[in-house]
Amino acid sequence: MTTIRLDALTRTFGSVRAVDDISITVADGEFFTLLGPSGCGKTTLLRMIAGFCDVERGAIFFDDRRIDRLPAHRRDIGMVFQNYAIFPNLTVERNVAYGLRARRIEPRQIAARVETALERVRLGGYASRWPHQLSGGQLQRVAIARSLVIEPAVLLFDEPLSNLDAQLRTQMRVEIRQLQQSLGLTAIYVTHDQEEALAISDRIAVLRNGRIEQVGPPESIYQEPRTAFVAEFMGATNMLAGVAGAFDGATTAVSAGQTEIRVNGRVAAPGDRVMLSIRPEILRPAGADRAGLPRLRARLVMREFLGSLVRLHMTLADGTPIRVSVLGGDVLALRPDAELEFTYDPAQILAFPAP
């Protein structure tokens, strides 16, 4: 296994600093995800590690070996691309064997290693097929097998599932994660899909404008975002503008329009403007079992039935929109303009300085 250390990496394109002084350590056998919106620098950073983009400043180490000065083919990495990069004029076997032949591996070893790699991705018996005979998911498995067959120290994934339909993406991300765990390989995975990152990562780095906004386990990134950007980017949330009011020794009363919302702790000085992050799932329909918790009232505009959940589009007293996610039950019978009362735990509401 291999530890990856990125030391103050920087890369500019003209006046744009795509990667801005990034330092990260990825542990042996860790599945580490670079997450962020388009243009945040995650793919550039991955390409620097792979050797497809020059390092302007900084260094990259695999364990104690500096590799940023080595050509791509000497870095001991396997890379899976977004568009598969499968040769259409070669069979599955020859596609998977391509890297081994380039390394002048003995033919008998090539056959055995290709067979093992195809078995690992559940494509045993597909060696003689042509790319046009395969589905998108099978093509992606071929691309993964081609990366595994060279027995790399590190696996890199550049948005490998973005071309697949939703159901296949869910299936393939589980397969990729299980394969990485079974082989014990260190992996860096690039995606802009928050659910994908939360589902399969040991740790996530959220990037914005070439810099790291936050690094941590998925649960920490989602439940304890350090900035308003991370809170809003990591899944659905309601971002409400408010003004901090009195602190009673336990909670701060924040005025969000005409609605008072309680937040645990002293979040700002009275009169300071703040942004509140309220996850749709923390708002619960008021009931006897929720006695003692603060409440807010809202009017129903529209509801979306999502199978296991119902998403309610509501407005507060001053017209501010707010979303609520609840289990089905009685809300399925509600009509637009219905008034509802919700309770919440102030500890689950986060406050950030207003921009």
3-state secondary structure 171-230: HHHHHHHHHHHHHCCEEEEEECCHHHHHHHCCEEEEEECCEEEEEECHHHHHHCCCCHHH
d(CA 335, CA 324): 15
The pLDDT tens digits of the residues spanning 253-281 come to 999 999 999 999 999 999 999 999 999 99
d(CA 346, CA 253): 10
Least Cα distance to 192 among 2, 43, 10, 35 occurs for 35
Residue 333 has a pLDDT of: 76
* Residue 49 half-sphere exposure toward CB, CA atoms < 13 A: 34
CATH level 3 topology of 4-232: Rossmann fold (3.40.50)
Least Cα distance to 7 among 67, 73, 52 occurs for 67
d(CA 100, CA 116): 13
Q: Which two tokens stand for residue 148?
A: 């595994």
**Three state DSSP letters for 90-156:** CCHHHHHHHHHHHCCCCHHHHHHHHHHHHHHCCCCCCCCCCHHHCCHHHHHHHHHHHHHCCCCCEEE
Domain span(s) for CATH 2.40.50.140 in the chain: 236-353
| Residue position matching structure tokens 């702790």 | 265
Q: Which two tokens stand for residue 217?
A: 């386990």
CB atoms within 10 A of CB 288: 5
Domain span(s) for CATH 3.40.50.300 in the chain: 4-232
66-96 per-residue burial string, b: 16 or more CB within 10 A, e: under 16? ebbeeeeeebebbbbbbebebeeeebbbbbb
The pLDDT tens digits of the residues spanning 266-320 come to 999 999 999 999 999 999 988 766 778 999 999 999 999 888 889 999 999 999 9
| Residue position matching structure tokens 């921009």 | 355
Give this prediction's pTM.
0.91
Q: For 242, phi and psi rounded to 5 degrees?
A: -150, 175
d(CA 303, CA 314): 9
CB atoms within 10 A of CB 169: 20
d(CA 200, CA 178): 9
Q: Which CATH number fits domain 236-353: 2.40.110.10, 3.40.1710.10, 2.40.50.140, 1.10.150.130?
A: 2.40.50.140
- pLDDT one digit per residue (tens) for the chain, 355 residues: 799 999 999 999 999 999 999 999 999 999 999 999 999 999 999 999 999 999 999 999 999 999 999 999 899 999 999 888 899 999 999 999 999 998 899 998 999 999 999 999 999 999 999 999 999 999 999 999 999 999 999 999 999 998 888 888 999 999 999 999 999 999 999 999 999 999 999 999 999 999 999 999 999 999 999 999 999 999 899 999 999 999 999 999 999 999 999 999 999 999 999 999 999 999 998 876 677 899 999 999 999 988 888 999 999 999 999 999 998 766 777 888 999 999 999 999 999 999 8
